[in-house]
């Protein structure tokens, strides 16, 4: 049994936790957009809200989804927005391409449908534009179509297609992974091309927040150097982080369990380092450039044909994988890092929202179930929009072979009161936690997400195998509380 003491530091506020840090990503890849979200208006199997699965939308709304990026991913750099507007007959049937898949794509989920989905979810839209196979003009037209209040041909077309009101999309990605699937640019040529796109897009929509494509340290430094005199043209710098070294989705060893958790934790370092490069590059320039971690999560070998352990585990690759309790613990660790970096991390999007990769929601025919990651995100809800507070581990043991504490926590104070989310990262040992919570009233809610095994999953057959339950929190002296955390578990306590 681990004995540990954690102290919430009321005197050490970090910054506001933007709801944008709890964003999601819907790509036209595998069964994410088509089948997972959109089944069309004539579907007889599942009830829909105008073509979007009702069960999925209701679950996502309750998660919640403050921000949604679409339509890709690698798909974005093949996407021509005009294919997805107008009547069903006007929609083009194209090759839907991303990550090596090729499918028949009828474009029935287009701009208007995506905006309707965002409205259903209460999500802010984030559109990824096509630099790879598109043009500056095509992207400018998409921005104008979505946002202009001037009575142009594009505005009239938008009205004819059902929306007199502009969509007012603020976030626009200028390409996606342009170092790879988005055109195999080198950093310098992308930086120059970005400048041209950003300049023209800003003319069309001065309120747009433009997201430039980043990558690894070398690319990021080169991009920032090339565009140092033009940093005002970017509002956010996109980086992606997938955790790929933890062995297979279900059959992982204890060592691989810790490897995955270490990768999740290292996400924060990548954000911190990228922020440092941006700070150095800005120098005395007061313009703000945030980091957009607009794809993150676990990518197991069953869902890819590259990277470590890539012998064919599943054929064909559908980009679907089982989401275990281990993945949920890794998620909570990453979110802790997001809170630490909330003054530089502007937005983050878990990849992806339904069925694909690190999905919180899964479907199979008429069945829908929620993964342990879903509950982890939901248990973080009180942190959204709240002020992040530092939490010190003042006493406690570390994980086998690691210097890091086994039990860590993130805390915030906001309209829900003071909230703390704790993670017991240990593979097999439970923990008895003393929490010095500072100035708080009573416990108003306390939930625990735990399972017998870190390999536990939910499924269509057993959708409730991993589910939050209430947690007992005992007063333990002035401002002190005690709670017990099983191995590999997550808990959220809200104090009034
Ligand atoms: O999320 C799957 C893919 O991962 C995206 O299409 C791409 O941006 C990244 O490589």
- Return the CATH number at 74: 3.20.20.80
401 — pLDDT class (breaks 50, 70, 90):
low
| Distance, CA of 413 to CA of 52 (rounded, Å) | 35
The range of the structural domain enclosing residue 230 comes to 18-384
Same domain, 402 and 362: no
Same domain, 190 and 252: yes
Same domain, 326 and 443: no
Same domain, 142 and 199: yes
Mean pLDDT of the chain: 96
Same domain, 411 and 426: yes
Same domain, 146 and 217: yes
| Distance, CA of 495 to CA of 250 (rounded, Å) | 36
395 — pLDDT class (breaks 50, 70, 90):
confident
**Other residues' Cβ atoms within 10 Å of the Cβ of residue 153:** 10
Please work out, in degrees rounded to the nearest 5, the angle formed at the alpha carbon of residue 236 by the alpha carbons of 231 and 241. 125
Q: Tell me what the mean pLDDT of segment 122-149 comes to.
A: 98
The model's pTM? 0.98
Same domain, 313 and 368: yes
Same domain, 149 and 199: yes
Distances (CA, A) of 262 to 243, 331, 399: 9, 11, 11
> Ligand 1: distance of its center to the CA of 357 in Å?
10
Residue 345 pLDDT exceeds 80: yes
Same domain, 343 and 395: no
CATH label of the domain that carries residue 408: 2.60.40.1180
> Ligand 1: distance of its center to the CA of 103 in Å?
16
Say yes or no: CB of residue 264 within 6 Å of ligand 1: no
Same domain, 274 and 361: yes
Atom 9 (ligand 1) nearest CA: 73
* 295 is known as an active-site residue: yes
Say yes or no: CB of residue 295 within 6 Å of ligand 1: yes
Q: What is the pLDDT of residues 198-257, one digit of tens each?
A: 999 999 999 999 999 999 999 999 999 999 999 999 999 999 999 999 999 999 999 999
Same domain, 61 and 192: yes
| Distance, CA of 25 to CA of 46 (rounded, Å) | 23
> Ligand 1: distance of its center to the CA of 194 in Å?
20
Last residue of a domain, one of 384, 404, 439: 384
Same domain, 94 and 171: yes
Give the number of the atom of ligand 1 that is nearest the alpha carbon of residue 351: 1
Q: Tell me what the mean pLDDT of segment 292-296 comes to.
A: 98
Last residue of a domain, one of 359, 384, 409: 384
Rg (CA), the chain: 22
Last residue of a domain, one of 384, 399, 419: 384
Report strand pairing: 290-298 vs 345-351: parallel
Q: At what angle do helices 153-160 and 136-147 cross, to 10 degrees?
A: 60
- Structural domain total, the chain: 2
Q: What is the pLDDT of residues 311-336, one digit of tens each?
A: 889 999 999 999 999 999 999 999 99
């Amino acid at each position: 049994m681990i004995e540990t003491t954690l102290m919430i530091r009321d005197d050490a506020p970090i910054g506001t936790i933007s709801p944008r840090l709890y964003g999601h990503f819907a790509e036209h890849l595998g069964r994410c957009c088509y089948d997972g979200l959109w089944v069309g208006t004539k579907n007889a199997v599942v009830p829909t809200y105008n073509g979007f699965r009702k069960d999925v939308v209701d679950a996502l709304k309750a998660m919640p989804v403050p921000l949604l990026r679409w339509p890709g991913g690698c798909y974005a750099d093949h996407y021509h927005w005009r294919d997805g507007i107008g009547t069903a007959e006007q929609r083009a049937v194209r090759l839907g391409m991303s990550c090596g898949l090729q499918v028949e794509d009828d474009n029935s989920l287009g701009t208007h449908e995506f905006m309707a989905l965002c409205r259903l979810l209460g999500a802010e839209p984030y559109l990824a534009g096509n630099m790879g196979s598109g043009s500056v003009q095509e992207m400018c037209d998409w921005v104008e179509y979505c946002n202009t209040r001037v009575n142009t041909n594009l505005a009239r077309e938008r009205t004819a297609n059902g929306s007199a009101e502009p969509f007012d999309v603020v976030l626009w990605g200028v390409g996606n992974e342009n170092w790879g699937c988005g055109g195999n640019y080198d950093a310098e040529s992308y930086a120059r091309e970005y400048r041209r796109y950003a300049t023209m897009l800003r003319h069309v929509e001065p309120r747009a927040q433009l997201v430039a494509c980043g990558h690894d340290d070398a690319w990021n430094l080169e991009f920032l150097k090339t565009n140092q005199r033009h940093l005002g043209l970017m509002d956010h710098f996109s980086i992606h982080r997938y955790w790929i070294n933890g062995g297979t989705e279900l059959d992982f060893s204890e060592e691989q369990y810790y490897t995955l958790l270490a990768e999740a934790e290292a996400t924060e370092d990548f954000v911190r380092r990228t922020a440092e490069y941006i700070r150095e590059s800005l120098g005395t320039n007061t313009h703000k450039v945030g980091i957009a971690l607009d794809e993150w999560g676990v990518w197991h070998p069953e869902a890819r044909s590259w990277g470590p352990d890539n012998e064919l585990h599943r054929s064909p690759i559908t980009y679907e994988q089982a989401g275990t309790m281990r993945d949920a613990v890794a998620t909570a660790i990453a979110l802790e890092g997001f809170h630490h970096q909330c003054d530089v991390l502007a937005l983050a999007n878990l990849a992806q929202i339904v069925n694909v990769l690190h999905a919180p929601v899964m479907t199979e025919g008429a069945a829908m179930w929620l993964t342990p990651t879903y509950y982890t995100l939901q248990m973080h809800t009180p942190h959204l929009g709240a002020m992040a507070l530092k939490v010190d581990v003042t006493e406690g043991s570390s994980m086998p072979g690691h210097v890091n504490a086994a039990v860590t926590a993130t805390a915030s104070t906001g309209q829900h009161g003071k909230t703390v989310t704790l993670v017991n990262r240990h593979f097999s040992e439970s923990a008895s936690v003393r929490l010095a919570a500072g100035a708080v009233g009573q416990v108003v809610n306390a939930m625990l997400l735990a399972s017998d095994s870190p390999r536990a999953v939910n499924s269509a057959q057993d959708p409730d195998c991993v589910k939050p339950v209430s947690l007992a929190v005992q007063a333990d002296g002035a401002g002190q509380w005690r709670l017990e955390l099983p191995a590999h578990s997550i808990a959220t306590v809200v104090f009034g």
